[in-house]
Amino acid sequence: MSTPTAKGNQKAIMSTLTEAHRRRTFAVIAHPDAGKSTLTEALALHAHVISEAGAVHGKAGRKATVSDWMEMEKDRGISIASSALQFEYAPTGHTGEPYTINLVDTPGHADFSEDTYRVLTAVDAAVMLIDAAKGLEPQTLKLFRVCKARGLPIVTVINKWDRPGRTPLELVDEIVSEIGLQPTPLYWPVGAAGDFRGLARITDDGSAEEYIHFMRTAGGSTIAPEEHYDPTAAADREGEAWDTAAEEVELLAADGAVHDQELFLNCITSPVIFASAMLNFGVHQILDALCELAPQPAGRATVDGAFREVESDFSGVVFKVQAGMDKNHRDSLAFMRIVSGEFDRGMQVTHAQSGRSFSTKYALTVFGRTRSTVETAYPGDIVGLVNAGSLAPGDTIYTGKKIQFPPMPQFAPEHFRTLRAKSLGKYKQFRKALDQLAAEGVVQILRNDARGDAAPVMAAVGPMQFEVMMARMENEYNVETVAEPIPYSVARRTTSQSAPELAKQRGVEIFTRATDGELIALFGDKWKLAFIEREHPEFELFPMVAD
């Protein structure tokens, strides 16, 4: 006979499994200016969590995007920091509980690849956004490879079909030839790029079953009304445009480009949807497809080779720490992906890296800059923990049996600058800002005795990270700074045994990394590094990316 406790545990397990089943957690990845932030707002609009989209940066009369909140993002029209949005959505014809969508908009610029990589460790699928005129671009290719390596299923959205661009078959062929991913269209465009009339919905056997005609709204700021036609009526209405679309769909089906769920989950195929995020054409079709096809949250392997199932005790992994999201709140948020169990605000959890226990009294869900207190959350959800100062990207928190998830590797920096405050009177604020922003991972901060604490070295993947660092120092901490280049371009980790002799080599300087105490050797260039490795094989030098 089962005890009340056993029954309670079983009920909790079933609740967790049920809630996990209706979660969809995904990231949007793309090259800069492919329309990620515009699509993010369009998705939120179709979920009825905002009433009007204003998605074009720098356009008169338009609002700034929900997801882009930093002044630099608004000024430049690019996403610099990843942002998390959570909302509920019921697909077309869905009668049960709505899905809970956790959508993470990622930086598009290559200088912020590390932030994007962190996000991709926290999601279960990705939307790969492609500009209809430009096709696959370098950053898209790079991010695709990360998704492939992580086993993240990809839904492909070909955006900006309302503008002149390439032919749909040409874009599909490019995806096959460039990245070896087989596109399987779910919705095919009726009308050439620049003459976007609607979408042909494709059946499981690869035929055009229905025509969805979109009607424009003023400035694309509201949901575009739809009209639905059967194939015969579609041919009468659209003539050659429908016939061309139907023929292309048949051609692809004959070539085997038909959706197969197992192949999709194994990252062999990718469902394709054509859309215009600006006009809100094809947007709810994207959400419907994600709800139907994207995987629900799964468990995760631990550092000791075990596996944490979603129905196990609570556990979560921090993938980002962010401060300065709201000048009214002088705090930081640790963004956590819940891996297993039920999260209840105020619960006592253990920080795996330090072994310390702390309370989660201040827990939030975040919609852009808007904060809402979260009482309960489940696997797949993204939760912001306020002022959890001991947490860093890659850290694990848990209840019950001790576990720890694998750490998050850091990218190898290629750019280096010293940083100092313009005013010596701001030194205290300068140090505080350095510590906070280094913990977030905005840049890596390197120090040594020769340079002192007043002029540490910033190390970054791309130079725009330095601009973000300096802008945030000024805007959030009221500290104006000066950055100056130093003659290094290559970094390696080293050991306390090798560091003293390495430091004697010309063109080499040794630093300690602020966040973890790692010893870092900087070299003038790759040839200098190669020379030292050849002449001194006894020196211990390791790549900057952690194992």
Average pLDDT, integer, range 301-324: 90
pLDDT value at residue 59: 38
| Residues 6 or more apart whose Cβ sits within 8 Å of residue 165 | 131, 132, 133, 193, 194
- What is the pTM (predicted TM-score) of this model? 0.80
Angle between helices 36-46 and 283-293 in degrees, nearest 10? 80
Tell whether domain 23-293 is in CATH 3.40.50.2300. Answer: no
Average pLDDT, integer, range 192-216: 95
Fold equal for 300-398 and 415-542: no
Average pLDDT, integer, range 204-209: 90
Assess contact for 200 and 246: CB atoms under 8 A. Answer: yes
Quote the percentage of the chain above a pLDDT of 70.
88
**Closest listed residue to residue 76, CA positions, set 347, 469, 475, 467:** 467
Tokens found for residue 528: 């200098």
Tokens found for residue 10: 């079983």
Tens-place pLDDT, residues 242-267: 999 999 999 999 999 999 999 999 99
Tens-place pLDDT, residues 17-33: 999 999 999 999 888 88
Whether residue 16 is annotated as binding a ligand: the answer is no
Tens-place pLDDT, residues 102-160: 998 776 555 556 677 788 889 999 999 999 999 998 878 878 888 888 899 999 999 99
Domain extent listing, the chain: 23-293, 300-398, 415-542
Assess contact for 214 and 283: CB atoms under 8 A. Answer: no
Average pLDDT, integer, range 228-250: 96
Tell me how far CA of residue 462 lies from CA of 92, 145, 164, 442, in angstroms.
42, 19, 32, 11
Average pLDDT, integer, range 301-306: 94
Whether residue 108 is annotated as binding a ligand: the answer is yes
Mapped to the 3 state alphabet, what secondary structure does 388-409 carry? Answer: CCCCCCCCEEECCCCCCCCCCC
Whether residue 304 is annotated as binding a ligand: the answer is no
Whether residue 106 is annotated as binding a ligand: the answer is yes
Tell whether domain 415-542 is in CATH 3.40.50.300. Answer: no
| Residue whose pair of structure tokens reads 């969809």 in the numeric block | 24
| Residues 6 or more apart whose Cβ sits within 8 Å of residue 513 | 444, 445, 446, 519, 520
The pLDDT mean for the chain works out to 87
pLDDT value at residue 316: 97
Q: Quickly name the fold that domain 300-398 has.
A: Elongation Factor Tu (Ef-tu); domain 3 (2.40.30)
Whether residue 230 is annotated as binding a ligand: the answer is no
Residue 121 region by backbone torsions, left for phi larger than 0, else alpha for psi between -120 and 50, else beta? alpha
